[in-house]
Structure 1
Amino acid sequence: MNPSTDAPSLRPNDLLTFIMALACGVAVANIYYAQPLLDTLARYFDVGQGSAGVIITMTQLGYATGLILLVPLGDLLERRRLITAMSVVTALSLAGIALSPTIELFIVTALATGVTAVVAQVLVPFAAHMASDAERGRVVGRVMTGLLLGILLARVVSGSIADLLGWRAVYWIAAGIMILQTIMLARLLPKEPAQSAMPYGRLLLSVLTLMREEPLLRRRIFYGALGFAAFSAFWTTIPFLLAQAPYHYPDSMIGLFGLLGVAGALCANFAGSLHDRGHSRSGTVLFQAMIGVSFVLMAVYAHSLAAIILGIILLDLGVQGNQILNQSAIYQIRPDARSRITTAYMTCYFLGGAAGSAGAAYLYQFAGWSGACALGGTLGLTGVLFWLTEPPRQSVKPV
């Protein structure tokens, strides 16, 4: 099925694209609110920094679980109904976090939030499906800009609210926003018929078939997992660095560092245009190199605020630019299986993120900031070396 010819009535206009971008940002923000609060949560629940870091790891593992079990339903069920149902459950999970009396219950409800927050990954292939071939990179770029801004602004909002009203208020407000989003999406998203009629079990197994049959998908999965592992390694450990000497920043100030990543989010449209113009290969190595360089800079000049700021900008440009190139490429592979392609890609992406956050939290306890940066730099370098094995031209079958 080619959306440019078979579903013209569903093509997204600018307003619908904006709404879907906003919804993606709101949904994915829910798994990042805890990052600038880790030092505060460790003190509140009287646990170590490594135990607090488990919150991020479990949230990302929950997200990976949702990608495996829920996102493929986007090819099987009517997507508007699926999206609104998942949004309601996310709101309930956020309320559970706000009520958590212990770190154990916090972790369990954070895991549940991660599972249902994958609604963002149902929206992205929905937008890609509605777009024509010629504009798919641009549409994906715009929707992903909203998703990336949600990731970045979540830290700023979370830190500011926590300083003013306490960390529980962050999650009560987030739950309310998800309810409002559910109402908006139920009214504005178009209905769309299911893309597949196969049973649920076969639908899940077909994800593995796609990974086996599509070399471009496997390659882009590896790039994505490396990039998000580096990204998560940084954001899991930077609150500990900034809360200590010589910085001694409060949660609100740590959260503000997320604004520096806006450069990466705004790069989404540029990266989408690179794909549409056929420059994905050269863009990939550029963005991978940025990841590695950012960690070298921040490791060498750990006590320089200017170096940390520049490093964050380079890291976000590299990770987010590469993400847009990856997704623009994989959504050309099989138009009838875009939700399952999303499952394959994003599951590995968030497993990479979970491994990066867990590895960085562990290394930080024993080797400090230098250990975390060594991990991130190695991941970036691995991406560059892997790029050297890439065929000069990789194309997909026309759709």
Structure 2
Amino acid sequence: MATGVTRSQRFVLALVCAVAVSTIYAIQPVLAAAGTGLGVARESLGGLVAAGQVGYFAGLILLVPLGDVVNRRWLITVHLVLTAAGAAAAAAAPNGAVAVTGLAVAGLFAVVVQVTVAYVAAVSAPSERGRNIGAVTSGVVIGILGVRVLAGVLGDTVGWRAVYALLAVLCVTLALIVRATLGPDRPASGARYAQVLASMRRLARTDRLFLSRGLIAFFLFASFGTLWSGLALPLGTDPWNLGTTQIGLFAVAGLAGALGAARAGRWADAGHAQAITGSALVALTASWLLIARIETTLWLLAIGIVVLDFAVQAVHVGSQHLLTTAHPHRASSVIGAYMAFYSLGSALGAITTTWAYSTWGWPASCWAGAAYSLCALVVWGLAQVTGITRRNAADSPGARAECRDTAGLPC
């Protein structure tokens, strides 16, 4: 039953998302220093970045569905403690193998982010669901971008290990706060874990709303990853030659855009999620025209970053609002499956931008980022033309009956 979320609870849950997701991305700004300290060869540094992403993808498939089976408050608490254990292992790692293991464990349990979103969706009143999701998921973008600034500063002053030591302490602290301040949330479906996994497979095959929003997320975060995984490359060379801390400060522009999009949840509550998606994807594509001007001015780059992160967050919030509203009794598994598209898209963007930059330079990376956003816009347009809406894709009587008949899960 929806009991509502207080302002202080929204703040705590946004912090949970920010800190947990930071454990995946904190290694990027300090990668070279970490590699030197751990004795990892330059050509093998990608393993440190990939470890968290691989763990995160596994957690989306295997752990997030537990939120539809057990008390989500308990699950959030346990996942935070285990994320802290992984971060602490990375901070104390004597070599690359231990660091990779710690980063993979941290990434595996960092899917507490999706359990948190599902918790918020479940306990929010329908009229406030989008607003609360928007406020809490703003913590995700704050974590992804803010940790670049934090890691850059700590890496240049104290050392890269301090980043993960701090994140471990914050995770444990938040686990205690969550336990003390949140009310229990017992899933209403009464489903078993195997049933939830089966429903995820069927969802990917048959639910057109989920497929369209998943594909949009795939291309959306491929575009996002193209920027943030490759931005340090041109900024660290001529004509700018910026240091780690200076490069990290560009994340502040991204934070401004992401926080500005927090209102997207209110727009979704008002029934405008589909329209906001189309407008935001147009803005996302246009932002690359500004980002591509990096060789002549950094002001246009900063403006482009604000627009890009605003658009990404607006679309992301709208998608989660639509999916959790369409599937209120299995929000965890739906969000977990949806975020698998996000994870794969982010990885694709990271691979694309490094390859394109090393081959043809920054303009090629920008063309790739714009192409991904255009693909997302095309998927959205086709969904509008074919009439894929929340009502006819997931709330239809046939869809509900199918869920009950095959897995015992109401849609």
Q: Is this a same-fold pair by TM over 0.5?
A: yes
Give how far 1:46 is off. Answer: 6.0
Aligned to 1:395: 390
C-alpha deviations, 1:222-259, integer Å up to 9, x for none?
A: 11111111111211111222222222222211111111
Give how far 1:292 is off. Answer: 2.1
Aligned to 2:120: 127
Aligned to 2:358: 365
Give how far 1:51 is off. Answer: 4.2
Q: Secondary structure at the match of 1:262?
A: helix
Amino acid at match of 1:124: V
Q: Distance in 1 between matches of 2:215 and 2:288?
A: 19
Amino acid at match of 2:132: V
Q: Mapping of 1:1-399 within 5 angstroms? A: 7-8=1-2, 10-41=3-34, 45=39, 47-48=41-42, 51-391=44-384, 394-396=389-391, 397=395
Give how far 1:359 is off. Answer: 2.4
1:30–1:375 Cα change, 3 Å: same
Single out whichever of 201-210 and 338-347 deviates more from structure 2: 201-210
C-alpha deviations, 1:111-134, integer Å up to 9, x for none?
A: 221111111110111011111111
Q: Distance in 1 between matches of 2:355 and 2:41?
A: 15
Give how far 1:43 is off. Answer: 5.6
1:311–1:106 Cα change, 3 Å: farther
Q: Distance in 1 between matches of 2:176 and 2:356?
A: 43
Q: Distance in 2 between matches of 1:105 and 1:196?
A: 40
Instruction: Tell me: higher relative CO, structure 1 or 2? Use CA pairs within 8 A at least 6 residues apart.
Output: 1
C-alpha deviations, 1:69-118, integer Å up to 9, x for none?
A: 10000010111211111111111111121123444443332222111111
Q: Distance in 2 between matches of 1:194 and 1:260?
A: 38
Q: Distance in 2 between matches of 1:126 and 1:32?
A: 24
Single out whichever of 63-72 and 213-222 deviates more from structure 2: 213-222
Q: Structure 2: give runs of 5+ residues left out of the alignment.
A: 397-410
* 8 Å CA contact 2:70, 2:186 repeated in 1: yes
1:322–1:51 Cα change, 3 Å: farther
Amino acid at match of 1:136: R
Q: Structure 1: give runs of 5+ residues left out of the alignment.
A: 1-6
The root-mean-square deviation of aligned C-alpha atoms, in Å, is 2.1
Give how far 1:278 is off. Answer: 2.1
Give how far 1:275 is off. Answer: 1.3
* 8 Å CA contact 2:76, 2:112 repeated in 1: yes
Give how far 1:345 is off. Answer: 0.4
C-alpha deviations, 1:255-310, integer Å up to 9, x for none?
A: 11111112232233321122122222221122112222222332244342112212
